Every structure is written in structure tokens, then in C-alpha cells.
Amino acid sequence: MKRRDDIRNIAIIAHVDHGKTTLVDGMLKQSGIFHAKQEVEERVMDSNDLEKERGITILAKNTAIKYKDTKINIVDTPGHADFGGEVERILKMVDGVLLIVDAFEGPMPQTKFVLTKALELDLTPIVVINKVDRPDSRPQVVEDMVLDLFIELGASEEQIEFPVVYASALEGFAKTDLDEDSDNLEPLFKSVIEHIPAPYGEIEAPFQMIVTTIEYNDYVGRMAIGKVNRGEVKRGEKVAVCKQDESIEYKNITKIFTYQGLGKEEVESAKMGDIIALAGTEDINIGETIADAENPEALPFITIEEPTVT
């Protein structure tokens, strides 16, 4: 078993309007991954009207930033109980979560379900109390509210000791002590590197990845997104697709992408801990496993619950 110290995989849990988009924008800008030409044209994880209506987020898009020598993969989470199967699949890609909470409003009930799942899956939380620039902000009160919520949701002793980062996503600063001065988000990056465990697993083992989401691209078609659970995958390699009905299909991986900024970058290979997009597996479905052709071992299939609008 090895640790990928060059990677951190995190999910963001936030109530609509608490500042997720602004914070991820800020992290992208300050991580130096943006080149002059690469503008943030469309807001990073912008919510659609349905989300706004329900006070939740239903999209899951991946972003990656680089801090010093570490790549931080950020996955967005759907924030609603109705998407149960999806929440679990997404959270299984990460080792920690950033819970973004508005420094005036405090935690909102809509984020409870995802937070409960994250705590159950033993993920490491970092609480980001955002909008501390606002004159009406009350970060200490909100911090106590978050602590009460963690206790109510059955957080473990370690989880209750969550690190707190006070931030203004809008002004692009973060700090771990309210009395500190800060003009950048570096304390947030540092907290992620320090507190969120690096992916841990087998690298010298047959390749295995469960498909978390599917993305479409005009040039490469249907792509399978997931985190490499173990081993390594190379472009051009033959793999086994373990279908839900337990049959096996053999495919060739035509392209491998990792995430970079808001986009993707093509790579030759990827290994345990990487969050990737694979092309070549065509009609593969969410929940199925892509595995080494000689060791086609499926990971447990996570059932997808149909969203029921309440």
C-alpha cells in the first residue's frame, strides 16, 4: 500500500449562495494554473435554476488546482437526499470535504444529508466559514452552530475536532485565526494539504476503477469518470468492463484525461488516486467497473436511486 502525496481529492459541500463558485474561482486564480488566455469565462460550478429553486446543487463537475507540488482534485457534490446513490458514489472518490458555510447564515438543513454521508464514510472535514468580510458576519456563532450540527449528525471524535478556515471568497483571502491578517487563500491550500489524507492504496496491483459519472465530449464521445482505485492504466491498453449483470466486455482505452483547472489534459497513463476520464469504453454505465483485462474484478455496484421530486 502506498500514499500518493502529490494528490488530494476533496469534495465541496455547500448550500446555494454560500460562496462555492466564488471560492473555487478564487482558488483557481491563485493556484497559478490559469494562463493569461485561460479566462474564467463561465463560472466554475455555476448552479442552474433548478438548484436555486430547491436550495441545492445537482451537478457534479470536477476541477483541479495545483498548490506547489500537489494536485488538488475538487469534486462538486449534489446536495440533496433524493440523489442518494449519486452522493455516495461521488464521496467515494475523495478523502475529505470542504464544508462551506456562510458566516452570517450558518449551516442550512439542505446540506445535512450529504454531510451525514461524508461523516459516515469517515471523510476528513475542513469547515470553511465564508464571507467573513461582511460587517454582519458572526463567524464564532456560526462555528458553534457547525459544531452542534456535527454532534447531532454523529460525527466521530476526530471529525468534531475539524479545522476551521475563515474566508472571504469574494476578496480572495483565508485565515485560520480570526485575528490574523491575510490577503490570499494560501492558508486554505495549506489546510487542505495538511489535514486531508493523500489517496492510499495499491499501485503495483491490477487496474481497477468504478465509474462515478459519465461525461460527453464532441470529439471523444462518451467518457467514464472515476478515481483509480488501484493499479495503473495506460493509453491503448485492453481493459475489462465488468457490467452490472456480471458479464464482461473487453475494450481498448483510447484516451486518458486528468483534470486541470476547468478543463482536461490528455495523459499517457494514470494510477491509484488519480481522478480521470477514460474514452474507449463506449456504452459503459455508472456503477460498473473498468478493470485489468486479466483480473476483471468488479467493485460492489452502487445502486443509483432515481431522483424523486418532493
Closest CB 88 distance from ligand GDP, rounded Å:
22
Q: What does the alpha-carbon distance between residue 11 and residue 27 come to, in Å, rounded to a whole number?
A: 14
How far is residue 44's CA from residue 28's CA, in Å, rounded to a whole number?
A: 9
Known binder of ligand: residue 133?
yes
Judged by beta carbon, residue 72 or residue 98, the one nearer ligand GDP is 98
- Total of residues contacting ligand GDP (CB under 6 A): 16
Is 251 exposed, middle or buried (CB count within 10 Å of its CB: 0-12, 13-18, 19+)? buried
Q: Does 19 bind ligand GDP (CB under 6 A)?
A: yes
By beta-carbon proximity to ligand GDP, the closer residue of 142 and 276 is 142
For the bound state, the minimum distance from the C-beta of residue 28 to ligand GDP, rounded and expressed in Å, comes to 13
Contact characters 98-137, ligand GDP, x per CB under 6 A: --------------------------------xx-xx---
20 binds ligand GDP (CB under 6 A): yes
Output b/e per residue, 184-204; b: 16+ Cβ within 10 A. Answer: ebebbbebbbebbebbebeee
31/47 with CB nearer ligand GDP: 47
Q: Where are the beta strands (DSSP E) in the chain?
A: 2-3, 7-14, 62-67, 70-76, 96-102, 124-130, 164-168, 173-175, 200-201, 208-210, 213-217, 221-230, 232-234, 238-242, 248-252, 255-260, 263-267, 269-271, 275-279, 289-292
Please identify which residue in 7, 16, 56, 123 interacts with ligand GDP, judged by CB under 6 A.
Answer: 16
Neighbour-count burial of 42, counting CB atoms closer than 10 A to its CB (0-12 exposed, 13-18 middle, 19+ buried):
exposed
Our finding on whether 145 is near ligand GDP (CB under 6 A) is no
Site residues (CB under 6 A) for ligand GDP, limited to 158-177: 168-170
Task: Pick the stretch among 17-25, 28-36, 80-88, 152-160 that binds ligand GDP (CB under 6 A).
Answer: 17-25
Find the binder of ligand GDP among 8, 9, 10, 18 (CB under 6 A). Answer: 18
The site for ligand GDP (CB under 6 A) is made up of: 14, 16-22, 47, 130-131, 133-134, 168-170
